[in-house]
Amino acid sequence: MNKENFRFYIKVCTALHIELKAIRDELYSVFGDEAPSHSTVVRWSKRFREGEPRPGQPVTEKTTENIEEVRGLIDDDDHLTIDEIHQETGLSHGTIVRIISDHPK
């Protein structure tokens, strides 16, 4: 069984409010050492309960709206720091840097 299948099983069990120890025990009884560790089951279950998207981060990237917003902030005050732009827009630092470097004035 691959990692995505384990995650799906853990996600379903989490949604059904099955205890973490029971999830781990079931996986171990079927897959043995191939099953995710208890700490992995706990971590994935926590992420699913918190609603974190899986896998990876959502892509906000360089939409026209984001580019215009960052450029507008810089045009208003060219001394803004990346952190200040992040606080204003909610965009990641990496996205802001890419916008600034790929779309200069």
CATH code, domain with 20: 1.10.10
Going by C-alpha positions, the residue among 58, 27, 57, 33 that lies closest to residue 45 is: 27
The pLDDT of 58-75, averaged and rounded, is 80
Pair of tokens at residue 50: 């918190």
The reply to whether 11 and 38 lie within a common domain is yes
* Mean of all residue pLDDT scores within the chain: 87
The reply to whether 37 and 11 lie within a common domain is yes
Judge if the upstream peptide bond of residue 36 is cis by omega within 30 degrees of 0. no
- CB atoms under 10 Å from CB of 28, counted, come to 16
Residue 54 lies in a domain: no
Start-end of H helices in 1-105: 3-15, 20-31, 38-49, 64-76, 82-89, 93-102
Residue 44 lies in a domain: yes
- In the predicted structure, residue 52 carries a pLDDT above the cut 70: no
Domain count, the chain: 2
The pLDDT of 9-23, averaged and rounded, is 94
The reply to whether 10 and 35 lie within a common domain is yes
pTM of the model: 0.49
**pLDDT 10s digits, 31-48:** 999 999 999 999 999 888
